[in-house]
Homo-oligomer: A and B are copies of this chain.
Amino acid sequence: MPPRSSKPPVPVCGTKCFGCATRNTSEWSALVATDLVSLDEHKICADYPAGRAIFTQGATCRGIFCVSLGVIALRKSDARGKSVLVRLVTAGETLGYRSFFAGGDYSCTAETMTPARVCFVDKEAVNAIIQRNPVAATAFLQRMAFDLLDAEETQLNQVTMSTRGRFASLLLRLRDEFGVTADDGTITMRIPLSRQDTAAMLGTRPETLARLIRKFEDEGVARFDGRSIVIPDVDALLDEMGA
């Protein structure tokens, strides 16, 4: 599946990590002033349109990325073109650190799902900071440990739950990221995912997802309108996860 957009990213100059709105949520939150200056000197910031690849599976990893704005999808595909959407990465998160620390080529393709601003930090700068600042290293250790727990969780769900249950589970996770809860408990969200991508997150086909959506609508568990989703009752969804 080729990226939807071939428009090039637009370089953005003069951005300062110090003032980055998302800095406190990233692995860089522990940095001291000197490190931040070093970061500013070595990073390259750019605005990407939606549907653009930031890096491609198999390409050489030369550093890591920091998402300042937007949503990025990590896709992994096998030799025969079948692919999974491994995870979504949102503002304040770091990108490409697995391949960076593992030391090989990228094992995933990262693609913008929305317009996005992403900063690139080259290898040397990252290494220098990690050597100097053990807290930064710990932050990455923690981040990867969480990812690992997440991956194990996903694996377990994939095996023990039906597609229907996994869909309910996905909706719940998407709520944490994109949902707003009204006074009466109704959840509304607009997700940056096409049906194909949603199916790829569940490890299923678009046809199966379409049928699931229909069932959920029929049963009043959720309402779907394009990429907008309304969930009248969270408990109903939680019940689905059991099945």
Q: Which residues of B contact A203 (CB under 8 A)?
A: 155, 158-159
- Does A187 have its Cβ within 8 Å of any Cβ on chain B? no
Cβ of A32 within 8 Å of any chain B Cβ, yes or no, is no
A67 within 8 A of B: no
Q: Are A152 and B107 in contact (CB under 8 A)?
A: yes
Question: Closest Cβ of chain B: how far from A204's Cβ, in Å?
Answer: 8
How many chain A residues touch B (Cβ–Cβ < 8 Å)?
44
Whether A239 sits at the interface, judged by CB under 8 Å, is no
Is A103 part of the contact surface with B, judged by Cβ < 8 Å? yes
Cβ < 8 Å to B, chain A residues 127-164: 130-131, 134, 137-138, 140-142, 144-149, 151-160
Question: Are A159's CB and B160's CB within 8 A?
Answer: no
In the complex, chain B residues whose CB is within 8 Å of the CB of A100: 145
Chain A binding surface, main DSSP class: helix
- Report yes or no: A144 in contact with B142, Cβ–Cβ below 8 A: no
A101: contacting residue among B99, B145, B156, B160, CB under 8 A? B145
In the complex, whether A97 has a CB less than 8 A from a CB of chain B is yes
Compute how far the CA of A134 lies from the CA of B130 in the bound complex, rounded to whole angstroms: 8
Once bound together, how far apart are the Cα atoms of A184 and B202, in whole Å?
43
Which chain B residue lies CB-closest to A81? Answer: B160
Which residues of B sit under 8 angstroms from A159, Cβ to Cβ? Answer: 82, 84, 158, 203
Residues 226-243 of A at the B interface (beta carbon under 8 Å): 242
A146 (CB) vs chain B CBs: closest residue: B102
Q: CB < 8 Å: which of B107, B144, B154, B160 contacts A82?
A: B160
Q: How far is the CA of A130 from the CA of B141 in the complex (A)?
A: 11
Q: Chain B contacts of A108 at CB under 8 A?
A: 152
4 new A-B contacts, CB < 8 A, other than A130-B138, A134-B137, A137-B141, are: A103-B142, A103-B145, A130-B134, A148-B148
Listed in ascending order, the chain A residues whose CB lies under 8 Å from chain B are: 76-78, 80, 82-84, 86, 97-104, 107-108, 130-131, 134, 137-138, 140-142, 144-149, 151-160, 203, 242
